[in-house]
Each structure stands twice: as structure tokens, then as C-alpha cells.
Amino acid sequence: MNKYQKIATRTLELVGGKENIINLYHCMTRLRFVLEDKDVVSQEEIKKIEGVAGLNWSSSGELQVIVGPDVDNVYKEVLALTGKQETDKPEKSKDAEKTPLSAKGIFNNIIGMFSACMNPLVPTFVLLGTFNVVAALIGPMFFKLVTEESALYTNFYYVGQAVIYFLPVLIAITGSKHFKTNAYLSVILACLMVYPDLMTAISNGYSVYGIPTTAVAYNASVIPILLVLFAQSYAEKLIDRIIPASLKVLLVPFGVVAVMLPLEFCVLGPLGTFIGGALANIIVGLNQAAGPLETMLVSAFVPFITAFGIGRPIFFICMSMLFANGVEYAYMPIAMCTSNFVAAGIALGYLVKSKSPKDRQLGASCSVAGLLGGVSEPTLFGILLPNKKTYLPAIIGGAVGGLFLGIMKVGYYQFGASNVLSVMGFIGGSQSNFIYGCIAAGLCLAVSFVMMLVLYRTED
């Protein structure tokens, strides 16, 4: 029995067996269980499993077992043991269904929607970032090996730009699973949002059934297509219920698209653009008004923001700003790069200061997971949150790096890896931006590590 089978077998036993599992899936680092009965879960025993960094309960009652970069291998073993099919979309637990409507519930649903629609696209964003980094390195921005007109440069540049341009189409693919819509109709609605001739007509004044549209560009946008998919899910159910069975194949697709056209381009698209613009203006305004103070505070507390999931909407809005503008200053440099270096510094300090072999092994594995695997969750849930004495080193390390980012006005240009190579995201604009970004990352790592050595004390 290999290590993945051991983790899967023991975890399955401690969550109450396969009969207690309604559904399971995984994200970048966590096994996520939707359970019939939460009370039978042996939480402390799960934490003791070798290879498990900790666990967390989501607001919807979902059990999240933190495994790290090996999560996909463990997930496959759990599937083999339970006989369940692989899925991207979790079913709601009974607790989630009984949750009354509230501001907190709505906020959690929005976060869940963003995560379900955007998380599967992360490898795609890494791909576009890698191509953009290569283009920036060989082009006039950095080493000046080729010109912007050269075929070699454009080969790499166009791949990244195509992913950004057709982002609504990619979201339609993942979003159709979350909203349970017809994927082909969702993609068609997304394609309409980036169809060049239609976009030109809208910019020159266009109407749908006599209803005027708003001149808006939807390429590289996020919120408009999410609103469209949300509305499509209801329109599809309503039309399917009305149309007779003998005419469904013909009239349901036609009816859905016909109904969605005015909603998409006269209401939801402009509304989504307004919401995204308002959120972006708030973020940019805070950065412009506070500058180094904003980046210092965000960097100081982003590990906790990340751990509790409340940074997801901010992250995806800033990511769309990065794709639209080519650079982002307020959040992406921290979320994509420096926060992982803070986590690595905490893990390294924990490794040095811990006395027990088990704790040292945890520190070593978390350090490797962060620096090489680009995964900070094992450190956040396995070391940081359970140990209050690590809070101050993390806050100080993040604050110092964030303050430097703000003072030097460092921007993040390329979405890419989140490990040590995340500093490649600072390539763009000028060589000094890359140098300052590397210094900020180094400060986060060094200061948080030194603060752990000075402030952290293990229990006797």
C-alpha cells in the first residue's frame, strides 16, 4: 500500500466511511467532503494522519482535509475506495440547504460561486503567465533579444493574449457546471460577448428587439458572464418546463438564447461591468490614496484573509484588472507572490525552533510545499492558525515586504506559478520592477523567518 492509499484509507475511515459521504471533490490542496453526518468525524485523528496538514470546516458544512500538492493522487484513491465518480461541483449538504437567507449566507454563496467557476481555470492562467513571461524576457522589456514584430515574440505573446481575450468563454465552460446549465448554450452566449462584429455594432449603437445596448467591451471580463450564467440557469428551467416534450430539441435552445439576448446585452452585461468597475475603483482608490499603507496592511494580514477564504472576490476582481490593464498593484503582488514567501519563512522558522521530530517534519514539508510546490495552505492550517505565537512573525514579515512594495510602486504583470518562480510575475514595465519585486519577496521570507527565531517559543 503506497502513501496515497494509506492517507485515503485512513481518512475515509475517520470521516465515517463511504456511506457517510454525499459527495467529494478537491481543489489545489484540499480534499472536500460533503457529509451526511458531521458528528461522526474524528477530527483530531484526521490531523494525526501522516501526510495531512490539517482540516477545516467551510461555512456550508463542508469538511476540508488539507493534503497539499499530492491532493489529486489521494483524491483518486478515495474515489477508488468509494466507487464515486470524479466531479468538479459539490452537492449541497443538508446543513447548507437549511441555512437561512442572510447577508453572511449570500456572501458565502458568492465566494463559493467564484471558487467553483474560477478555480478550475488556474492551470490555464499559469499557462498564459508562462507564455507572457517568456515573451517579456526575450522581448524589448527585458533582455531585448528580439523585437515586438518578430515571429518568435508574437508566437508567445499571442497565446497569452488569446486566453485573456476569451476569458468569458472559458468561464462559461466551468460556470455551466456550477449553475447546471446547458454548456453549449453557455458557451454560445459567451462567444457572443466577444464576437468582433457584434462588439463593433454595440460600440456604434445597437439594439436588441428595439432595446438599446450599452457600449461595453466584454473581453477579459469576469462578472458579466457570471451574471449571464446565473440568469440562464433560471431561464433554461422555465423554458424547458413550458415547451412540450416533442418540441424541446428545437425550441428550448432557441428560446433560451432568444430570451437571454436582451438580458445579456441590455441588462446583465452592463450591470456586471458596472459592478466590476465599482469594485476595481474601490481597490485602486485605496491603493492610490494610501499607497504603501494599503500594501503594508494587506500584506500583513493576507495569510489570515487567505485562510478564511474572504479574499477570493478581491483576488478575482484584481485578477481581471491585471488581465484588462496588463498590471495590478494593490493585491496581486501580495496574493500571488509575497504571501507565499511569508508562509515559507514561518515554516522554516518552525522547522528550526521545533523540538519534536514530528513538528520538524511538518515544518520541512510545509517549507517544500510552499517554496517548490507553491502551496501555502499546509503552512496556514498546519502551523500558522493553530499556533498563536506565529501570528506576530507573519504579520511583521508581511508588513515589511508590503511596505516596500508600496514605496517602490511594484506592479504584478504576469499570472504564473505561486512558488519561488512567482517573482517572474514582476517581469514587465522595467527591469527595476522585477528587482524590487524580488527584494520584497526576499524581505517577506527573511523577516518572517528571523521573527520566528526571535519571537516563537515552543511549549515544554
End-to-end CA distance of the chain: 36
Element (H, E) at 65: strand 63-66
Report which residue type is found at 202. I
Strand order in the sheet with 30-35: 21-26, 30-35, 63-66, 54-57
Instruction: Output the pLDDT for position 96.
Output: 47
- Comparing CA positions, the residue from 235, 229, 233 lying closest to residue 258 is 235
pLDDT tens across the length of the chain (460 residues): 789 999 999 999 999 999 999 888 887 678 889 899 999 999 989 988 988 877 888 766 789 898 877 788 899 999 999 988 776 554 554 544 454 556 767 777 787 788 788 878 878 887 888 888 888 889 887 888 999 899 999 999 999 889 989 999 999 999 999 999 999 999 999 999 999 999 999 999 999 999 999 999 999 898 999 999 999 999 999 999 999 999 999 999 999 999 999 999 999 999 999 988 888 888 889 999 998 999 999 999 998 887 776 677 788 888 888 888 889 999 999 999 999 999 999 999 999 999 888 889 889 988 988 888 777 877 887 899 888 999 999 999 999 999 999 999 999 998 877 889 999 999 988 889 999 999 999 999 999 999 999 999 875 4
Beta bridge partners of 211: 208
Instruction: For residues 72 and 114, give the distance between their C-alpha atoms in angstroms, rounded to a whole number.
Output: 21
Q: What is the 3-state secondary structure (H, E, C) of 303-330?
A: HHHHHCCCCHHHHHHHHHHHHHHCCECC
| Phi and psi, residue 66, nearest 5° | -85, 115
DSSP, res 57: E
Instruction: Output the pLDDT for position 241.
Output: 95
Say how many residues make up the chain.
460
Contacts of 48 (CB under 8 A, 6+ apart): none
**Torsion region of 144: left, alpha or beta (phi above 0 gives left; psi -120 to 50 gives alpha):** left
Instruction: Output the pLDDT for position 307.
Output: 73
Dump the DSSP string for 16-42: T-GGGEEEEEE-SSEEEEEES-GGG--
Instruction: For residues 202 and 217, give the distance between their C-alpha atoms in angstroms, rounded to a whole number.
Output: 9
Instruction: Output the pLDDT for position 460.
Output: 45
Report which residue type is found at 157. Y
Please name the residue that has the C-alpha cell 514561518: 346
Instruction: Output the pLDDT for position 395.
Output: 97
Contacts of 315 (CB under 8 A, 6+ apart): 331, 332, 335
Instruction: For residues 260 and 231, give the distance between their C-alpha atoms in angstroms, rounded to a whole number.
Output: 8
Q: Is the sign of the CA dihedral 165, 29, 314, 118 positive or negative? A: positive
Alpha helices in 100-222 (DSSP H): 103-118, 122-138, 151-165, 167-179, 183-194, 196-203
- Residue 211: strand, helix, or coil: strand
Beta bridge partners of 33: 24, 63
10 Å Cβ neighbour count for 148?
A: 11
| Alpha-carbon separation of residue 146 from 89, 164, 380, 414 (angstroms) | 44, 23, 42, 19
Instruction: Output the pLDDT for position 392.
Output: 96
